[in-house]
Amino acid sequence: MTTAVYEIKGGDYERGGAASRAVKQQLKQVGADPAVVRRAMIAAYEAEMNVVIHTQGGELRACLHNGQLDIEVIDTGPGIADVEQALREGYSTASPKARELGFGAGMGLPNIKRNSDRFAIESALGRGTRVSFTILLKPQALYGAGRHSVQIVAERCRQSLRCLRACPTGAVRAFRGKPEILDYLCIDCTACIAACPTGTLMMSGTVGELKPAADTVLVVPAAALVQYGAGVTPQRVLDELTALGFREVRVVEAWEEALRAAVVAYAKAEAPVAPVISPACPAVVNLIETRFPSLIPHLAPFLSAIEAVRGELGGRQAICVALCPCQKTALRIGDGVQPDVLLPAVLRAAVMPRLNTNPPAGHGSSALGGGASADVLRVAGLRHVVRVLEAIEDGLVTDVPVIEPWICDKGCFGSPLLAEDAVLARSRWQTAPVERQASARAVRRNVPFEPRKGLRLDNDMTKAIHKLARIDKLKRSLPGGDCGICGAPTCAALAEDIVLGRAHPEACPRQGQSTPPSEKESGT
Amino acid sequence: MRLDELASKIGAKVHTPGRGANVEADQVYAGDRISDLLNAAGEHALLVSNLASTHLVRVAELMDIPGICLVNGQVPDAAMLDAAREHRTLLMASPLGLFETCGRVYECLATEKQT
């Protein structure tokens, strides 16, 4: 608990506000939410100026304890004749001088009352006034919010540490023997899932069984239709799914094509910058919002295909096969129908037995599939995507109007949740596509893309700079080999984790090995 | 719109640059009563006012407001300039009145929104 007392001189307009300023410093030091600080400042400044304007002098006491700020402002007179009237908006007894300076609007006490969580006033004519109020402090979230659908099944972890290095944003840690994800960095892609040899990292919240129903729409991505080996065409799989008894089966690819056409049209007619980046893959959008915020203007303002499909369900029950966590997240956040999300493996288990017993059905007319366009450059695979985004950031991509990046190899065909090889699957889809669905269209976004807040070292700039210096110093004392044994993906990440209290100061097993032996021995 | 850019567009003279070059403003609040300005406060606001005094800078400082625009060709006194410099508040002065100044600022921000 800290109590500070500040003297306020009556009539000293020059120094009026000094006490409030000191209180603000304190609030910033304890990391109070900026909105709360603003409320506290309105109340404190009004109270302080009341003493300056109306009285012979007094003091402001500020007490910080138990997550709240208590302020007491006491003066020695002349006191308020009618407190009730003084609390009414617009009532003022301020001098002409005060009014000239912009005070005396009759808003002081009402302003204090409105901005505090508890407010009290006592006054006695000739003796003085005591105004006290409380502001409840909320600690500010140090990290921006992140939403993802990656789930960790800790008991499966054999500490291969592959996930640490696979993550494109360095969001994975394994300090306590199992992986953890820093939400604010996770872009909801499949990198860690693909890297994990034991299935510790998985997509969360899926249903375990495919239950056909006459009022339910089934939404499947093209890639899920080409997981049944040579000779089983996607149209055949689609027919079997329809025969299971759904109201309708929709293939996401149709919306991807519509989106592609819309993005090309947007690039030709409206785009403020070139090249235009297609928002086809939600994980790419997350990656840009997190690691490449300067590329946000390049993103075409449309919903991804899976979000567009969801928007057109029109309140009907639905089951969606999601190929990655970001698709699942896109199906769950915001308003609208919350469809059941199914792993492709569950779909496969339901379709497989039918393929063995039923005779093959005839081909449909080839219409949906491929989707290659001369104007669109498809970039698939995390490594390529990152390098191409870096190139765009450097202004080196001037020869392509539209870029369509996908985190997984071959687009969604390379999802680690699928059994078939990405190249085989995509080629089977391209050689034998399914019938076109008429209703698919691209949908404009209502909500603009926004850079993610990311990490703030501290709410207080001074402290943040101090921490930054400590991180820098620590980083130089670490070996720099990025071995990952400590549980952080890089030595730089470990330095940050130690300074932010996420990792033990001696987490590095190799620290000091690069320093001369004498120094090392004296350290241990 | 960046505050320094806004200043040149509305024909105001910048007395102290503050953090102006790095700060975007998308809101404007005009008024001659401290209480009103306090309530209007925001991190991306420009205060437009006749109140050429250190109190206006104090309000900006307490409420994290990055910029102030005086009107009617008022010249800030030394105390106000010092305060603005100390708290890195961008202080500009417009030769026009409150109403006209706001009109120009509105025009600039509205055109920016459209493009």
A283-329 pLDDT per residue, tens: 999 999 888 888 999 999 999 999 898 888 877 889 999 999 999 98
Report whether pLDDT(A139) > 80.
Answer: no
Q: Which residues of B touch A42 (CB under 8 A)?
A: 38-39, 41, 63
Q: What is the pLDDT of residues A82-120, one digit of tens each?
A: 888 888 888 888 888 888 888 888 888 988 988 887 788
Per-residue model confidence (pLDDT) at position A144: 43
Show residues of chain A in contact with B48, CB under 8 Å.
none
**Predicted pLDDT of residue A359:** 52
Q: In chain A, which residue's Cα lies nearest the Cα of B32?
A: A102
| Strand pairing report for A340-342 and B67-70 | unpaired
Inform me whether the pLDDT recorded for A517 exceeds 50.
no
Which residue ranges make up each domain of chain A?
Answer: 2-136, 216-431, 457-524
> What is the C-alpha separation between A265 and A336, in angstroms, rounded?
28
Q: Give the phi and the psi of residue A408 in degrees, each rounded to 5.
A: -85, 155
Secondary structure (H, E, C), A313-370: CCCCEEEEECCCHHHHHHHHCCCCCCCEEECHHHHHHHHHHHHHHCCCCCCCCCCECC
pLDDT in tens, A214-258: 889 999 999 999 998 888 889 999 999 999 989 889 999 999 999
Q: Which of A20, A107, A108 sits opposite B62 (nearest CB)?
A: A20
pLDDT at B100: 93
Q: What are phi and psi of A462, to 5 degrees?
A: -60, -45
Query: CA nearest B63 in A: which residue?
Result: A38
> Looking at beta carbons, which residues of chain B come within 8 Å of A14?
54, 79
How close B26 comes to chain A (CA, Å)?
Answer: 16
* Averaged pLDDT score across all residues of chain B: 87
Distance from CA of A189 to the nearest CA of B (A): 33
Cβ–Cβ < 8 Å for A220, A342: no
Q: What is the reported pLDDT for A298?
A: 94
pLDDT, tens digit, 9 for 90 and up, residues A122-133: 988 888 999 999
d(CA A28, CA A308): 43
The secondary structure of A177-238 as a DSSP string is: SS-EE-TTT----SHHHHH-SSS-EEE-S-BSS----TTEEEEE-GGGGS-S-TT--HHHHH
Determine the distance in angstroms separating the CA of B74 from the nearest CA of chain A, rounded to an integer. 14
* pLDDT over 70 at A360, yes or no: no
What is the model's pLDDT at position A334? 66
CATH architecture designation of domain B3-114:
3-Layer(aba) Sandwich (3.40)
The reply to whether residue A107 touches residue B79, judged by beta carbons under 8 angstroms, is no
Report the chain A residue with the minimal C-alpha distance to residue B38.
Answer: A42
Phi and psi of B4, rounded to 5°?
A: -70, -35
CA distance A32 to chain B (A): 14
For residue A362, name the pLDDT band (cuts at 50, 70, 90): very low
Cross-chain Cβ contact B36/A107 below 8 Å:
yes
State the smallest CA–CA distance between residue B68 and chain A in angstroms. Answer: 15
Model confidence band, residue B2 (pLDDT cutoffs 50, 70, 90): confident
**Residue A45 to chain B, least CA–CA distance (Å):** 8
Q: Does B34 touch chain A (CB under 8 A)?
A: yes
Q: Which of A45, A102, A108 sits opposite B32 (nearest CB)?
A: A102
Q: Closest approach of chain B CAs to the CA of A496, in angstroms?
A: 27
**By a Cβ cutoff of 8 Å, what residues of chain A touch chain B?**
13-14, 16-17, 20-21, 24, 34, 38, 41-42, 45-46, 49, 101-103, 105, 107-108, 111
Query: CA A297, CA A271: separation in Å to the nearest integer?
Result: 9
Task: Band the pLDDT of A142: cuts 50, 70, 90.
Answer: very low
- φ, ψ of residue B25 in degrees (nearest 5): -115, 135
Nearest CA in chain B to A106: B35
Q: If you write DSSP's letter for every residue of A116-131 in order, what string do you get?
A: -SEEEEEEETTTEEEE
Contacts of A111 in chain B (CB under 8 A): 35, 38-39
Q: Which CATH superfamily is domain A457-524 in?
A: Electron transport complex subunit B, putative Fe-S cluster (1.10.15.40)
Residue type, A280: A
pLDDT for A519 equals 41
Q: Phi and psi dihedrals of A225, rounded to 5?
A: -95, -5
pLDDT tens sequence across A460-508: 667 777 888 888 899 989 998 899 999 999 999 999 888 877 788 888 8
- A5 φψ region: left (φ > 0), alpha (ψ -120 to 50), beta (else): beta
Do residue A46 and residue B58 have CB atoms under 8 angstroms apart?
A: no
Question: What number of other Cβ atoms are within 10 A of residue A198's Cβ?
Answer: 13
User: What residues in A contact B79, CB-CB < 8 Å?
Assistant: 14
Chain B residues lying within 8 Å of A103, measured CB to CB: 33-35, 55
CA distance A74 to A262: 66
Q: What is the ipTM of this complex?
A: 0.88
- What is the distance between the terminal CA atoms of chain A, rounded to a whole angstrom? 39
Are B58 and A16 in contact (CB < 8 Å)?
Answer: yes
**Over the stretch A176-199, which tens digit does the pLDDT of each residue have?**
777 888 888 899 999 999 999 999
pLDDT digits (tens, 9 = 90+) for A380-424: 999 999 999 999 988 888 888 999 999 998 889 999 999 889 999
Set of chain B residues whose Cβ sits within 8 Å of the Cβ of A102: 32-34, 37, 49, 51, 53, 55-56
Put simply, the answer to whether A102 touches B34 (Cβ < 8 Å) is yes
Whole-angstrom distance, CA of residue A386 vs CA of residue A378: 13
Q: In this complex, which of A45, A101, A111 lies closest to B62 when CB atoms are compared?
A: A45
Residue position matching structure tokens 């070139």:
A274
Q: Judge whether B52 is closer than 8 Å to chain A, CB to CB.
A: no
Do A429 and A223 touch, CB atoms closer than 8 A?
yes
Domain ranges of chain B: 3-114
* Closest by Cα among A209, A219, A221 to A310: A219
pLDDT at position B101: 94
Instruction: State how far the Cα of A489 lies from the Cα of A191, in Å rounded to an integer.
Output: 14
What number of C-beta contacts closer than 8 Å exist between A and B?
Answer: 61
Residues of A in contact with B38 (CB under 8 A): 41-42, 45-46, 111
Q: What is the mean pLDDT of residues A59-82?
A: 87
Residue A41: list chain B partners with CB under 8 A.
38, 62-63
Q: List C-alpha distances in Å: A14 to A50, A61, A101, A159, B53.
A: 14, 20, 11, 64, 9
Among A142-146, A353-357, A402-406, A434-438, the range of highest mean pLDDT: A402-406
Model confidence at A35, pLDDT cuts 50, 70, 90, reads confident
Per CB-CB distance under 8 Å, the chain B contacts of A46 are 35, 38
**Are the Cβ atoms of A17 and B55 closer than 8 angstroms?**
yes
Side-by-side strand order, sheet with B27-30: B13-16, B90-93, B67-70, B45-49, B27-30
A42–B39 C-beta distance less than 8 A: yes
In SS3 terms, B30-87 reads as ECCCHHHHHHHCCCCEEEEECCCCHHHHHHHHHCCCCEEEECCCCCCCHHHHHHHHHC
Q: Which of B38, B54, B55 sits opposite A42 (nearest CB)?
A: B38
Helix, coil or strand: residue A115: helix
Q: B39: which chain A residues are within 8 Å (Cβ-Cβ)? A: 42, 107, 111
The reported pLDDT for the residue numbered A229 is 86
pLDDT digits (tens, 9 = 90+) for A276-291: 999 999 999 999 988 8
At A282 the pLDDT is 93
A333-345, pLDDT tens digit by residue? 766 678 889 899 8
Asked: is A2-136 a CATH 3.40.50.12780 domain? The reply is no
The predicted structure's pLDDT at residue A303 = 92
The token pair that represents A379 in the structure block: 């970039």
Q: Note the pLDDT of residue A256.
A: 92
- Nearest Cβ partner for A102 among B51, B61, B79: B51
In the stretch 54-93 of chain B, residues with CB closer than 8 A to chain A read 54-56, 58-59, 61-64, 79
